[in-house]
Amino acid sequence: MTKARKATLAALTEAPAPLTASAVLKCIGELCDQATVYRTLHYLEEKGFAESFVLHCEEHGTERYYSAIRGDGNGEIPHRHWFHCEACHRFIAIGACTVSQLVEKFESDQNVSVRRHVLYFTGLCAECRKLSAQKGGNEIAFS
């Protein structure tokens, strides 16, 4: 694996939340340029080291976020789901995947094989809900 791929995978593995390509570039410094980061993320996803999802956010627009699913030593990283706060834009890990029974039922009912899935919630985190209530505003308080 190239230095850029190793550094990108390390950034995804160590990140507490999914990262955009530009966030990955900030993590790995001047090791490569933005185009190389995009190619590397595509490669890592294609080879089963990372997964991505698209998030539509009114303030940040539409962005693709990446998470590691396998480390450099090929050790699997637990599959996680995310909550995205629409006001402060932080991600909160929902935790390990708990939808396996739903997936198995869907596979059985529809006679399909699910290879992967993505689940995320959007809304306001506890802190942003509190701030919004203090301001007396409607619950959406974009920063």
Residue 102 structure tokens: 């739903």
The reported pLDDT for the residue numbered 74 is 64
pLDDT tops 70 at residue 13 = yes
Which domains, from first to last, does the chain contain? 1-77 (1.10.10.10), 78-143 (3.30.1490.190)
pLDDT at 26: 93
What's the pLDDT tens digit per position in 116-133?
A: 888 889 899 999 999 888
pLDDT digits (tens, 9 = 90+) for 14-30: 999 999 999 999 999 88
Token duo for residue 6: 């190793």
Q: Is the pLDDT of residue 102 over 50?
A: yes
Q: What pLDDT does 78 receive?
A: 74
If you average pLDDT over every residue of the chain, what do you get? 86
What pLDDT score does 46 carry?
93
Query: pLDDT tens for residues 33-65?
Result: 999 999 999 999 999 899 998 988 777 778 888
DSSP assignment of 15-42: -SS-B-HHHHHHHHGGGS-HHHHHHHHH
- pTM score, two decimals? 0.77
Q: Which residues are within 8 A (CB) of 41 and not within 5 positions of it... i.e. 6 or more apart?
A: 8, 21, 24, 50, 52, 66
